[in-house]
């Protein structure tokens, strides 16, 4: 009986280590990313809406990925937690000089070391669903975000491609 308990504990530790290691093997998405409009497929996304995501800033630690984009009239800050804690997105819009903020919960699924998917469902009265897949190139210099947003019966889908802004070194 003692061997069964030891074997079960050892198996549990191996599986737990594998699960936590799978998240720590995620490539580093950190950086300032600049929209490469020539490589994008905006789909039905308007150019005005695309202008809000010309620059995406991502910071990443072992615990979370923070994604920020937008301008002074509309911006979003997304915190995707890699430790199983709840993830969320905070949206800020400015309408008639009045700021409006809302926070929505997001689910995160890590596909492999180079890709993850964020899914956000509207919990309110609107039937909306936003699914975004983030993929970083092997060399870490290209970020692709495919999106599929459904609002009632209308779908906005496409692909945004970003080049990593190179930091100047002295």
Domain residue spans of the chain: 2-52+59-65+107-164
DSSP 166: P
146 Cα distance to chain centroid: 11
Q: 0.75 exceeded by the pTM?
A: yes
At 14, the pLDDT band (50, 70, 90 cuts) reads: very low
At 102, the pLDDT band (50, 70, 90 cuts) reads: confident
At 48, the pLDDT band (50, 70, 90 cuts) reads: low
For every residue of 121-136, DSSP letters joined together read E--SSS-EEEEEEEEE
Question: Residue 105 pLDDT more than 70?
Answer: yes
**DSSP bridge partners of 157:** 148
Higher pLDDT, 120 or 45: 120
% of the chain with per-residue pLDDT over 70: 79
Q: What are phi and psi of 19, to 5 degrees?
A: -65, -45
**Structure confidence at residue 25 (pLDDT):** 85
For every residue of 36-90, DSSP letters joined together read -GGG-B-TT--HHHHHTTSEEEEEE-SSEEEEEEE-SSEEEEEEEETTSSPEEEE
């Amino acid at each position: 009986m003692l061997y069964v308990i030891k074997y079960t504990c050892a198996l549990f530790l191996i599986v737990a280590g594998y699960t936590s290691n799978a998240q720590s093997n995620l490539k580093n998405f950190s950086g300032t990313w600049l929209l490469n409009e020539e490589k994008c497929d905006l789909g039905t996304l308007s150019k005005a809406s695309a202008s809000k995501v010309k620059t995406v800033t991502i910071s990443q630690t072992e615990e979370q990925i923070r994604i920020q984009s937008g301008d002074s009239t509309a911006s979003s800050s997304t915190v995707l937690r890699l430790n199983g804690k709840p993830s969320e997105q905070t949206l800020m819009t400015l309408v008639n000089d009045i700021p409006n903020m809302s926070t929505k919960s997001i689910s995160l699924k890590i596909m492999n070391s180079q890709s993850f998917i964020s899914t956000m469902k509207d919990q309110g009265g609107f039937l909306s669903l936003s699914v975004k897949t983030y993929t970083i190139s092997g060399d870490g210099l290209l970020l692709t975000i495919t999106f599929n947003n459904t609002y009632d019966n209308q779908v906005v889908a496409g692909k945004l491609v970003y080049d990593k802004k190179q930091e100047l070194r002295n």
